């Protein structure tokens, strides 16, 4: 369902037709082999846009004819295109690891995708993760399609004005200049999806982006057939009011599911990247109900098993909520109160707002946080949905994020890793011990050369970008001349770049301006910093933090060569920074950084991390691979603690980081201690925090088990049994009660005997257990109690017993009753629990 894209480039000579194929496959964003083609074709345009498709639409017919007549260029194009085709046709890791594929199709729903700066439909880490996921699916051959929205403006672009304040601009994303194509149906017509909105239908147009082996499908509402107000639904990422956000999330979830049907894509797994996509749960269940002639409840039981929910939010206040009155206006073909109940902590509370994350939790069979710590935090956040259940049993696991390493490695790093580990190092299994062994043979000087080359490239890039930034604000000639020599390619370079908001504490280093000044100007251990980041347009605190940094810079003109703030933090700037800096700093307030992936991107490039013990760094840190602040505890917004951690940060930079960078240099100038830490960080952490490991973990721990559950639920008899079980548990749970617990013991064992009365609830629908709370960091202990004889004279009462070793005090154990049915997931699908009264 695509259109011949050459017809969109009428001036493209036949000798250059392969350029269109290369330009429209965003694999160029991480496979840089063909970069020389675009640089040769239009050097300035390539350096400014990194968008091959725009280049082909922009350069003149005369220039194209020149290129077509250049036999060397045509031969180089043929080689690159042939290599590209052969790479995509090679057997993938997935095909080789699973000759009988356990999962046929995964649909990955996300509000944003960060594939490349040439496709600006992302705002930050959530989108970059989604983009890295699709790229990795292409590398590994895992069958995945992305579903998202084609934003007309995307996220805002940042300008730092002459006063050092952030201003926002919203340039138009002309879709014809983006590396996407309209999706056409069999008749050649633009494929559209219809959505019923209050009093009208809106149309969503479909676009396709090629991501190597993977595909990304995008919907937009900017169709002339729509009402002008509806054309703007997909105008601005995370913009507008509550109703526009609701409409956007309907377009993503419902529109995305309907698009899969129009494309004929039958998916087993719907992966919801945050709660924004949760309406896919409703659309999928409703579709199943219509096709199989069953009610919505039964359809939800059947389809839930194919839904995976990944939460990235560290605080419940971050979840999208909508008023019941607003939600009732939108028709999903099911009763409004049925829908509202799925998005509430208390389904019976008609006034409670509708929570998208709650819908995602109730509509998905498996859920996960994005780091070990975030898994714990998420279980705490979602515990209200499972009253009475211990926090450790709230059904949220974790898969720690990773980054798509080929997208973030520098040319020097690429050369080093290829020489050591081969070209296919990120295309299959990663063996940390094997990589570590191979890297032991790499000389210190080689690793230091890698760092030095990458730092030098960053300095060149930063100077050029900073000069253009100053020129646009009307800076003086003197300031511009001074900026031409900003930064030094031979001194310790620190990077700090992220969204500016209070919990990330981006101004920690400004806590003591005098101490920061002395750090930057130290006569023996000089340091320089590159800072970047945006604040949300409505985040005045974050904007003020940006202003404070620029005030500090303006107030110390002698630091112009050591400290720069680069505006408009995007993927291109992020790429250059993570490739070039020696040290990456991250200072979030624990546990608000769900994972954080920016620091992972420096690993492959030999950069080191100094971070708060939060997110991924809490599980990655050891003294051999970097530095840390924090005590693994939560301190909320304690200003005294913030000051304490700021002092710790200064002390580490002054007393450990900078001296290590400059001390212990061999005759060639290589800092042996620093390089030793580089080696440990690169070999231990790069494979562990790659999206290769992450996606294989999703496949093995979530996608494959969910696919098995989903397959079982294609049997309507099982779905009916599941439905009857849940109805019975809900209806009769209050009738279940305990008799008197009796415990006897000998030298080695305890014998627990407990009568249980079920009344109208079938005893096969529950499990009786003995539970002991976890000690320290161990897991809780559960022992199943065995059902014995019926209790004489009772109605549906039975004796339960269990004999256990005498390993803990008897008072640690408490009997409980939980719902149970083979094939059902508890407490995800039945949250009831009854504890023996203590």
Given this model, what pLDDT does residue 572 score?
A: 92
Asked if the model's pLDDT at residue 424 lies above 60, the reply is yes
| Confidence bin at 802 (pLDDT 50/70/90) | very high
Asked if the model's pLDDT at residue 822 lies above 90, the reply is yes
| Confidence bin at 421 (pLDDT 50/70/90) | confident
Distance (Å, whole) CA 255 – CA 261: 10
Q: What is the mean pLDDT of residues 520-546?
A: 96
Output DSSP code: residue 836: P
Given this model, what pLDDT does residue 675 score?
A: 97
Domain residue spans of the chain: 5-89, 104-401, 409-689, 731-835
Q: What is the mean pLDDT of residues 393-403?
A: 97
Q: What is the mean pLDDT of residues 777-792?
A: 90
Q: Looking at domain 409-689, which of 1.10.10.10, 3.20.20.70, 3.40.50.2000, 1.10.357.10 is its CATH number? A: 3.40.50.2000
| Residue 22: both structure tokens together | 């290369």
- Residue-wise pLDDT tens digits, 367-387: 999 999 999 999 999 999 999
Q: What percent of the chain has pLDDT over 70?
A: 98
For residue 205, CA distances in Å to 255, 263, 709 come to 10, 13, 33
Distance (Å, whole) CA 27 – CA 31: 6
Asked if the model's pLDDT at residue 652 lies above 60, the reply is yes
Q: What is the mean pLDDT of residues 794-804?
A: 95
- Residue-wise pLDDT tens digits, 100-157: 999 999 999 999 999 999 999 999 899 999 999 999 999 999 999 999 999 998 788 9
Given this model, what pLDDT does residue 34 score?
A: 84
- Residue-wise pLDDT tens digits, 443-464: 999 999 999 999 999 999 999 9
Cα 765 to the chain's mean position, in Å? 38
Given this model, what pLDDT does residue 835 score?
A: 97
- Residue-wise pLDDT tens digits, 13-41: 999 999 999 999 999 999 888 899 999 99
DSSP conformation letters of 471-535:
HHTT--HHHHHHHTT-S-TTSEEEEEES---GGG-TTGGGSSHHHHHHHHT-SSS-EEEEEE---
Given this model, what pLDDT does residue 7 score?
A: 58
**Residues contacting residue 578 through CB under 8 Å, at least 6 positions apart:** 408, 495, 584, 598, 601, 602, 605, 607
Output DSSP code: residue 318: G
Distance (Å, whole) CA 119 – CA 122: 8
Given this model, what pLDDT does residue 32 score?
A: 84
- Residue-wise pLDDT tens digits, 678-714: 999 999 999 999 999 999 999 999 999 999 999 999 9
Asked if the model's pLDDT at residue 5 lies above 70, the reply is no
**HSE of 533 in the Cβ direction (CA atoms, 13 Å)?**
28
Q: Looking at domain 731-835, which of 1.10.3470, 2.40.128, 3.30.160, 2.60.40 is its CATH number? A: 2.60.40
Distance (Å, whole) CA 405 – CA 340: 41
Which of these ranges, 93-97, 250-254, 427-431, 459-463, has the smallest mean pLDDT? 427-431
- Asked if CATH classification 3.90.190.20 holds for the domain at 104-401, the reply, yes or no, is no
| Confidence bin at 301 (pLDDT 50/70/90) | very high
Tell me whether the CATH fold assigned to 104-401 matches the one assigned to 731-835. no
Asked if the model's pLDDT at residue 342 lies above 50, the reply is yes
Given this model, what pLDDT does residue 3 score?
A: 44
- Residue-wise pLDDT tens digits, 562-602: 999 999 999 999 999 999 999 999 999 999 999 999 999 99
Q: What percent of the chain has pLDDT over 90?
A: 85
Contact 155, 120 (CB under 8 A): yes
Residues forming beta bridges with residue 16, ordered by sequence position: none
Given this model, what pLDDT does residue 333 score?
A: 85
Q: What is the mean pLDDT of residues 624-635?
A: 95
Asked if the model's pLDDT at residue 85 lies above 70, the reply is yes
Asked if the model's pLDDT at residue 428 lies above 90, the reply is no
Contact 209, 114 (CB under 8 A): no
| Confidence bin at 432 (pLDDT 50/70/90) | low
| Confidence bin at 6 (pLDDT 50/70/90) | low
Asked if the model's pLDDT at residue 4 lies above 80, the reply is no
Given this model, what pLDDT does residue 420 score?
A: 87
Distance (Å, whole) CA 171 – CA 40: 28
Q: What is the mean pLDDT of residues 162-187?
A: 92
Given this model, what pLDDT does residue 773 score?
A: 87
Distance (Å, whole) CA 564 – CA 577: 12
Output DSSP code: residue 155: S
Q: What is the mean pLDDT of residues 779-785?
A: 92
Peptide bond into 159 cis (omega under 30): no
Work out the number of other CB atoms within 10 angstroms of the CB of residue 672.
13
For residue 17, CA distances in Å to 62, 71, 329 come to 16, 15, 50
| Confidence bin at 787 (pLDDT 50/70/90) | very high
Q: What is the mean pLDDT of residues 511-533?
A: 96
Given this model, what pLDDT does residue 664 score?
A: 87
Given this model, what pLDDT does residue 422 score?
A: 79
| Confidence bin at 2 (pLDDT 50/70/90) | very low
- Residue-wise pLDDT tens digits, 754-768: 999 999 999 999 999
Q: Which of 760, 752, 761, 762 is nearest to 816 (CA)?
A: 752
For the chain, what is the mean pLDDT?
93
Contact 595, 506 (CB under 8 A): no
Q: Which of 196, 199, 243, 195 is nearest to 220 (CA)?
A: 195
- Residue-wise pLDDT tens digits, 492-512: 999 999 999 999 999 999 999
| Confidence bin at 1 (pLDDT 50/70/90) | very low
Alpha helices in 59-214 (DSSP H): 61-68, 71-89, 93-97, 125-140
Asked if the model's pLDDT at residue 345 lies above 60, the reply is yes
Asked if the model's pLDDT at residue 719 lies above 80, the reply is yes
Helix (H, G, I), strand (E, B) or coil at 239: coil
Task: Give the end-to-end CA distance of the chain in Å, rounded to a whole number.
Answer: 64
């Amino acid at each position: 369902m695509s259109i011949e894209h050459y017809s969109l480039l009428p001036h493209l000579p036949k000798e250059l037709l392969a350029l269109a194929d290369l330009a429209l496959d965003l694999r160029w964003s991480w496979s840089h082999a063909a970069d020389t083609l675009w640089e040769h074709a239009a050097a300035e345009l390539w350096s400014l846009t990194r968008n091959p498709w725009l280049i082909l639409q922009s350069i003149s017919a005369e220039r194209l004819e020149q290129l077509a007549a250049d036999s060397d260029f045509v031969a180089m194009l043929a080689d690159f295109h042939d290599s590209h085709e052969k790479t995509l046709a090679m057997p993938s890791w997935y095909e080789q690891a699973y000759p009988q594929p356990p999962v046929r199709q995964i649909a990955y729903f996300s509000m944003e995708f960060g594939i490349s700066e040439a496709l600006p439909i992302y705002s930050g880490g959530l989108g970059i993760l989604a983009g890295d996921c699709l790229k990795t699916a292409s590398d590994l051959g895992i069958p995945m399609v992305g579903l998202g929205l084609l934003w007309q403006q995307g996220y805002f672009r940042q300008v730092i004005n002459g006063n050092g304040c952030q201003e926002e601009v919203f340039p138009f994303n002309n879709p014809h200049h983006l590396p996407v194509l309209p999706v056409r149906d069999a008749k050649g017509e633009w494929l559209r999806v219809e959505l019923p909105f209050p009093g009208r239908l809106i149309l969503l147009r479909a676009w396709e982006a090629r991501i190597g082996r993977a595909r990304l499908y995008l919907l937009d509402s900017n169709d002339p057939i729509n009402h002008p107000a509806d054309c703007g639904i997909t105008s601005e990422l995370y913009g507008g009011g509550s109703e526009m956000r609701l409409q956007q999330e309907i377009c993503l979830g419902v529109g995305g599911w309907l698009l899969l049907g129009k494309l004929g894509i039958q998916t087993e797994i719907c992966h919801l990247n945050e709660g924004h996509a949760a309406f896919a749960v409703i659309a999928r269940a409703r579709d199943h109900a219509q096709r199989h002639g069953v009610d919505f409840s039964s359809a939800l039981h059947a389809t839930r098993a194919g839904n995976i929910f990944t939460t990235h939010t560290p605080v419940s206040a971050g979840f999208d909520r909508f008023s019941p009155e607003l939600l009732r206006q939108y028709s999903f073909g099911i009763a409004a109160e049925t829908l509202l109940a799925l998005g509430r902590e208390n389904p019976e509370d008609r006034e409670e707002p509708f929570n998208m994350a709650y819908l995602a939790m109730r509509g998905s069979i498996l859920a996960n946080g994005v780091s070990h710590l975030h898994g714990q935090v998420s279980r705490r956040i979602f515990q209200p949905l499972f009253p009475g259940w211990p926090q450790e049993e709230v059904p949220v696991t974790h898969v720690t994020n990773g980054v798509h390493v080929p997208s973030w490695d520098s040319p020097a790093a690429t050369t080093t890793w290829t020489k050591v580990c081969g070209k296919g190092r990120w295309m299959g299994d990663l063996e940390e011990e094997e990589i570590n062994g191979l890297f032991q043979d790499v000389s210190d000087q080689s690793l230091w050369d890698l760092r030095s080359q990458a730092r030098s490239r960053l300095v060149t890039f930063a100077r050029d970008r900073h000069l253009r930034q100053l020129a646009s604000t009307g800076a003086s000639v003197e300031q511009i001349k001074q900026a031409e020599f900003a930064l030094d390619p031979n001194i310790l370079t620190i990077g700090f770049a992220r969204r500016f908001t209070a919990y990330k504490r981006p101004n920690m280093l400004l806590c003591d301006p005098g101490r920061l000044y002395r750090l930057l100007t130290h006569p023996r251990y000089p340091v320089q910093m590159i800072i970047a980041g945006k604040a949300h347009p409505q985040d005045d605190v974050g904007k003020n933090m940006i202003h404070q940094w620029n005030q500090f810079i303006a107030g110390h003109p002698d630091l112009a060569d050591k400290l720069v703030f680069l505006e408009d933090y995007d993927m291109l700037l992020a790429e250059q920074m993570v490739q070039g800096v020696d040290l990456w700093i991250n200072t979030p307030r624990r546990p608000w950084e769900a994972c954080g992936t920016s620091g992972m991107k420096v690993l492959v490039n030999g950069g080191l991390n100094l971070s708060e013990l939060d997110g991924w760094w809490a599980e990655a840190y050891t003294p051999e691979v970097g530095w840390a602040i924090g005590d693994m505890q939560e301190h909320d917004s304690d200003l005294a603690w913030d000051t304490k951690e700021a002092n710790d940060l200064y002390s580490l930079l002054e007393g450990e980081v900078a001296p290590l960078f400059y001390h212990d240099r061999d005759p060639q100038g290589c800092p042996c201690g620093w390089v030793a830490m580089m080696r440990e960080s690169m070999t231990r952490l790069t494979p562990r925090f790659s999206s290769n490991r992450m996606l294989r973990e999703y496949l093995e721990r979530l996608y494959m088990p969910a696919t098995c559950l989903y397959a079982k639920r294609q049997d309507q008899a099982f779905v009916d049994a599941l439905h009857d079980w849940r109805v019975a548990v809900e209806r009769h749970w209050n009738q279940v009660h305990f008799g008197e617990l009796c415990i006897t013991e000998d030298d080695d064992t305890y014998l627990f005997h407990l009568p249980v009365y079920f009344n109208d609830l079938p005893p096969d629908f529950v499990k009786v257990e003995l539970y002991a709370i976890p000690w320290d960091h161990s897991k809780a202990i559960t022992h199943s109690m065995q059902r014995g004889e019926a209790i004489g004279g009772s109605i549906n009462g039975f004796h339960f017993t269990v004999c256990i070793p005498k390993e803990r005090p008897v008072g640690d154990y408490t009997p409980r009753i939980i719902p149970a049915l083979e094939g059902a997931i508890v407490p995800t699908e039945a949250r009831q629990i009854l504890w023996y009264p203590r």
